[in-house]
Amino acid sequence: MEIDIKKIRSRIDEIEENLLKIRKYTNIPDEEFWEDERNIYTIKHLLLQTIEAVGAICVHLVAKKLKKGVESFGECFEQLAKAKMISSSLYQELKSMIRFRNILVHRYWEIEDEKVLQYARKNLEDFKKFLEEIKEILIKEKS
């Protein structure tokens, strides 16, 4: 089966839109940011949505290009790396992203809000790298 480029494009758009929103919140000066607890809840939600969209792209690519199913996003990214569809450096960043996601989802009470904000301020480039490499796959697919 073919990659559903429209589906992937939709997820890419979602990621790009969320990254713009996250940047808006992370640019708020600390004192002002912490005055409204909705800011951190919004960032957490946007990060989760964005990571889920990254995972959805991965699952789709592994299913369509590699004809495999996966049980986790971590396994999914590993499959893309083994197939040389993403770089090994990106794979390492994505593994960290999934660990962060799992803490947010499964052990949210263990993560400090300051660390979430720090992650949002320092790790958005990982999403950008992912999008760049996925767009390369789509360009090859169209050729």
Dump pLDDT digits (tens) for 78-132: 999 999 999 999 999 999 999 899 888 887 677 899 999 999 999 999 999 999 9
Task: Retrieve residue 107's tokens.
Answer: 């052990």
Q: What is the model's pTM?
A: 0.92
Confidence band of 139 (pLDDT split at 50, 70, 90): confident
CATH number of 5-142: 1.20.120.580
Supply the pLDDT for residue 105.
Answer: 86
